[in-house]
């Protein structure tokens, strides 16, 4: 029963007829294929922008709703002055020809904090000028032809330990020189509390998940609760080189599509860019070390699944019930149960 019932139930769900969506979006996903360790940071950004434009030009037309580019596609962007940034000036000129298309891309950004904004762990405070506080972000931005609100930002909020944040700095502070050498920092990146969504002129709402965030189902629930109709994952995936890492990361995305009943448009710098349907099927997968743009119509949904509503409570309920039964057996002083119960509690406290 334990083995067969979940399998049968899953098959019934898989072959259930999909509901007809009320709206669809035409999406272009770009995979620029820059080697992330050396090449990406040595090629002038104006040449990188031209590669993006060339790839987009292959697919875009008047029906295109979105163009999605990968994580940190463009660097050193001042969020308060993005409209004057040379890279985005070029992109603005290009998208003037396509006024109905929104660009969603990952960026490396920063901003100087206003006096009213709080100082956090991620805040940099220069010793020479403490009033000039600032924060750095691994961010996503939506750009659209809207004179009142052309740019909307989302700040990545679940970080890779070491590369993007220092875990327990009061313990591991002595490792700061090593983290600095490999591109990390003690302060880490700034984050945000809520999972904000990007809304375009048609009212479509998109979850802008950045890289590592997409492996956490419970974390991603915040996007769907805020009305996201689809998920755009922006990632790099070249850091692993051609190893199983990028394959595993793509497999996690398929789980997010199933549990949320949302289509996914996934843009990787290199690795696997694809479209994933609500049953976890992947379409138009790119290859590792391939420069390519892909395009597809994706359905947009509003419904909330059981998991979206309740999250991991089934897991915690199971752990709680299991713990109770083990405790009962333990206190009965049954030798084998006692040994097993003691072993369980040791593992439980270690991980939790």
Choice among 73-87, 93-107, 115-129 with the minimum mean pLDDT: 115-129
What local confidence, expressed as pLDDT, does residue 74 receive?
Answer: 95
The CATH superfamily label for domain 21-157+192-311 reads Carbon-nitrogen hydrolase (3.60.110.10)
Choice among 11-20, 90-99, 177-186 with the minimum mean pLDDT: 177-186
What local confidence, expressed as pLDDT, does residue 164 receive?
Answer: 83
What local confidence, expressed as pLDDT, does residue 338 receive?
Answer: 54
What is the arithmetic mean of pLDDT over 44-66? 96
What local confidence, expressed as pLDDT, does residue 41 receive?
Answer: 82
338 or 290, which is more confident?
290
What local confidence, expressed as pLDDT, does residue 168 receive?
Answer: 75
On the question of pLDDT at 183 being above 60, the answer is no
Taking every pair of Cα atoms in the chain, the longest distance, rounded to a whole number of angstroms, is 77
Number of H helices, E strands in the chain: 10, 12
Nearest to 158 by CA among 223, 105, 230, 70: 223
Choice among 13-27, 45-59, 65-79 with the minimum mean pLDDT: 13-27
Whether 230 contacts 277, CB under 8 Å: no
If you average pLDDT over every residue of the chain, what do you get?
90
pLDDT bin (cut points 50, 70, 90) of residue 348 is low
Reduce the DSSP state of residue 302 to 3 states and report it: coil
What is the arithmetic mean of pLDDT over 167-194? 73
Domain regions of the chain by residue span: 21-157+192-311, 314-351
From residue 191, alpha-carbon distances to 110, 135, 156 in Å are: 11, 9, 6
């Amino acid at each position: 029963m334990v083995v067969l019932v979940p399998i049968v139930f899953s098959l019934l769900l898989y072959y259930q007829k999909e509901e007809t969506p009320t709206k669809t979006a035409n999406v272009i996903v770009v995979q620029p294929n820059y080697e992330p360790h050396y090449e990406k940071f040595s090629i002038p950004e104006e040449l990188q922008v031209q590669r993006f434009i060339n790839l987009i030009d292959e697919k875009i037309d008047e029906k295109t709703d979105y163009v999605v580019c990968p994580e940190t596609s463009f660097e050193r962007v001042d969020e308060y002055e993005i409209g004057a940034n040379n890279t985005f000036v070029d992109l603005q000129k290009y998208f003037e020809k396509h006024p109905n298309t929104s660009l969603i891309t990952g960026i490396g950004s920063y901003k100087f904090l206003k006096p009213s904004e709080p100082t956090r762990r991620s805040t940099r405070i220069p010793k020479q000028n403490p009033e000039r506080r600032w924060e750095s972000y691994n961010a996503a931005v939506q750009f659209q032809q809207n004179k009142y609100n052309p740019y909307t930002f989302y700040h990545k909020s679940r970080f890779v330990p070491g590369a993007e944040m220092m875990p327990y700095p009061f313990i591991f502070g002595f490792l700061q020189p090593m983290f600095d050498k490999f591109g990390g920092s003690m302060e880490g990146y700034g984050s945000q509390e809520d999972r904000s969504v990007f809304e375009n002129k048609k009212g479509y709402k998109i979850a802008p998940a950045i890289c590592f965030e997409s492996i956490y189902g419970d974390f991603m629930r915040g996007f769907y609760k805020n009305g996201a109709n689809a998920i755009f994952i922006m990632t790099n995936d070249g850091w692993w080189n051609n190893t199983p890492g990028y394959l595993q990361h793509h497999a996690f995305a398929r789980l997010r599509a199933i549990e949320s009943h949302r289509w996914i448009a996934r843009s990787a710098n290199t690795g696997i860019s694809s479209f994933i349907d609500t049953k976890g099927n992947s379409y138009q997968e790119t290859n590792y070390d391939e420069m390519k743009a892909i395009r597809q119509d994706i359905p947009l949904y509003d419904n909330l699944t059981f998991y979206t509503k309740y999250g991991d409570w089934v897991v915690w309920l199971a752990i709680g019930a299991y713990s109770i039964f083990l405790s009962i057996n333990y206190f009965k002083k049954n030798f084998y149960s006692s040994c097993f119960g003691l072993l369980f509690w040791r593992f439980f406290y270690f991980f939790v």
